[in-house]
């Protein structure tokens, strides 16, 4: 990616939301910013809640001509006619998802801070890989995806890369030259004004 290219914003839904009120908040963000893709990332496994949420978000996404992928659920992506799936467990499910969803679907893989996982995901058919968390309090084993990983990836690998988890204006400013996308979620939804919170992050891209 050229140094002058601005990364794009990839929006992640909150882990829980009210399908009757969230679409309006989402719509305001889509009106205010250029969004490349939306990931429906609910914490629930309840199929009925997932279906209702997907319907609500899809309507807004398609009205704004933005692709919508769903976290984890290959079968639901298929059934609901979504644009693809985001796999949170690295490269493991990529080949299966690609086979099920076909060549035109978006298949992405979250690979933590593992260069090896990212490469494997790319080789087995992923359209993008995401690394993280890139900032904030590291969860789990405390590993952060460091800037060096993004530097190496953007220099060596053509597959688009996404930075996610713990984004702050400082982190965004640091990673902007070496990532293709920033995946923004709780960073804006936990704010009183998501549009203003997103603006603060995008301003930091320089």
* Model pLDDT for residues 128-156, shown as the tens digit of each residue: 999 999 997 655 667 899 999 999 999 99
Q: Is residue 3 part of a domain?
A: no
Domains of the chain: total: 1
What is the rounded average pLDDT of the residues 97-101? 97
With H, G, I as helix, E, B as strand and everything else as coil, classify residue 131.
Answer: strand
Spatial neighbors of 154 by CB under 8 A, at least 6 apart, are 1, 161, 178, 179, 180
Q: Examine residue 189 and state whether it is found in any structural domain, yes or no.
A: yes
Cis-peptide into 198, omega within 30 deg: no
Q: For residue 121, give its domain range.
A: 8-203
Of the listed ranges 82-91, 105-114, 137-146, the least confidently predicted one is 137-146
Q: State residue 137's pLDDT score.
A: 65
- Helix 22-32 with 47-63: angle, nearest 10 deg: 30
Determine, yes or no, domain membership for 62: yes
Q: What is the C-alpha to C-alpha distance for residues 193 and 76, in angstroms, rounded to an integer?
A: 31
Domain-located, residue 1:
no
| Residue 2 domain-assigned (yes or no) | no
Residues 107-111 have a mean pLDDT of 98
Give the contacts of 116 (CB within 8 A, at least 6 positions apart).
Answer: none
Domain CATH number, residue 57: 3.20.20.70
Pick the closest to residue 110 from 47, 55, 185, 44 (CA basis).
185
Q: Is residue 83 in some structural domain?
A: yes
Rounded to two decimals, the pTM is 0.95
Residue 85 lies in a domain: yes
In this structure, is residue 68 part of a structural domain? yes
CA distance 86 to 83: 10
pLDDT at residue number 5: 77
């Amino acid at each position: 990616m050229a140094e002058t290219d601005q990364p794009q914003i990839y929006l992640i839904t909150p882990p829980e939301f009210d399908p009757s009120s969230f679409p309006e908040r989402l719509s305001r963000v889509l009106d205010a910013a250029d969004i490349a893709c939306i990931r429906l990332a609910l914490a629930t496994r309840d199929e009925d809640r997932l279906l209702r949420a997907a319907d609500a978000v899809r309507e807004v996404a398609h009205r704004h001509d933005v692709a919508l992928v769903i976290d984890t659920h290959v079968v639901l992506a298929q059934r609901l006619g979504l644009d693809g799936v985001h796999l949170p467990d690295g490269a493991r499910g990529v080949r299966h998802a690609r086979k099920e969803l076909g060549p035109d679907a978006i298949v992405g893989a979250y690979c933590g801070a593992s260069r090896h996982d990212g490469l494997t995901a790319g080789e087995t058919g992923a359209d993008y890989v995401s690394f993280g968390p890139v900032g904030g309090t590291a969860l789990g084993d405390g590993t952060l995806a460091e800037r060096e990983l993004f530097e190496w990836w953007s220099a060596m690998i053509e597959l688009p890369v996404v930075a996610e988890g713990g984004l702050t204006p400082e982190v965004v400013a640091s990673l902007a030259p070496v990532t293709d996308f920033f995946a923004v979620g709780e960073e804006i939804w936990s704010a009183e004004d998501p549009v203003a919170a997103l603006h603060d992050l995008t301003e930091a891209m320089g």
